[in-house]
Amino acid sequence: MADPFSDFLSLMRARSVVSGELIAGGAWAIDFPPTGTLKFWGVMRGRASLLFDGDDAPTGIEAGDTFLLRAPRAHVLGSDLAAPRAGLADLLDRSAGAVIRHGDITHDDDTFRMIGGKVELGAEGNRMLLDALPPLIHVRGTSRQAAPLRWLLEQLVRERESALPGSDAASAQLAHLMFIQILRAHFDTSDAWPAGWLRAIGDRRIGPALRLMHGEPARAWQLGELASACAMSRATFAAYFKSVAGVAPLAYLAGWRMRIAQRALRDERTPVNVLARSLGYGSESAFSNAFKRIVGCAPSAFRAQASVETLREADDAYAPIERSG
């Protein structure tokens, strides 16, 4: 039995890193510019207000709260939003390492402390996840989903303060667990967000069918088998699955096969006819027709374009080294 959530995380090449820490006190406010990066942060101590551009009222945040920000929206964070605002870039220029200190931090009782991170995704992951997420996920520290996140925050603080061997690697793993746990917390409110793959993998009623399809994507699954696994009639299962996933069960299976195929065409040298058989297609032409219908181009064209994109990414990665040399 497969784990569809882990499958998608692997497919997206999701990797989380700790990007910095904020310690602030007194009356302070900081302007954060919009960014296209998927960001998350957790509040370890204190209280503040968060106001996004376009919102009428700020949101109060406090110790134990965690956030995941998908939309590139500018926002201001502060203990007093009427206080003179400092720009994030200026504070970063004056900071020591990855820790920003701002305002009057001589009184520990009034100090606000927050750790932030970012999620790095492959090109396919950016399209898949950013389209599925709401602009902001806010997990309150008082909610029942917050306990694991509080523990992870505490461990992150210990790792950053201990400077033990492997602390950077451990911090990255803890940050990734935070990202996963924030999404898990969001699954509990799945009825409130649009139909799609992310809502589907958080739905317990169709979970057995998803695990079957992810476990054996090449199998010619029948609607009755999947419905039986979920203890539903065929009609009830088909209607409910589409209301949650946005597509019919067998269309979801075909789409998942094509996601596997895209990864293989991008990362491997597997011949197209071998890939076709591994995904349950009787011929290369049947697979190619399905791929073109769902993805929008032939497998060979997709592989060629993926090779160009890989070379471009490699050039971008080495450009700073070449400039410094």
CA-CA distance, 284 to 273, in Å (whole number)?
5
User: Residue 321's pLDDT is what?
Assistant: 40
User: Residue 192's pLDDT is what?
Assistant: 67
Does the global pTM surpass 0.75? yes
Helix axes 207-215, 4-12, angle to 10 degrees: 60
- The pLDDT tens digits of the residues spanning 107-144 come to 666 789 999 888 888 766 777 888 788 888 899 998 88
**C-alpha of 246 from chain center:** 20
- The pLDDT tens digits of the residues spanning 246-285 come to 999 999 999 999 999 999 998 888 899 999 999 999 999 9
User: Residue 190's pLDDT is what?
Assistant: 58
User: Residue 1's pLDDT is what?
Assistant: 59
Question: Which regions in the chain score pLDDT beneath 50?
Answer: 313-325
User: Residue 318's pLDDT is what?
Assistant: 42
Tokens of 217: 């994507």
Surface-to-core class of residue 143, CB atoms within 10 Å of its CB (0-12 exposed, 13-18 middle, 19+ buried): middle
User: Residue 320's pLDDT is what?
Assistant: 42
Q: Where are the beta strands (DSSP E) in the chain?
A: 15-25, 29-32, 38-45, 47-52, 59-62, 66-69, 75-78, 85-87, 99-103, 112-120, 136-139
Give the chain's domains with CATH numbers.
Answer: 4-188 (2.60.120.280), 197-304 (1.10.10.60)
Q: What are phi and psi of 68, to 5 degrees?
A: -130, 120
CA-CA distance, 7 to 200, in Å (whole number)?
13
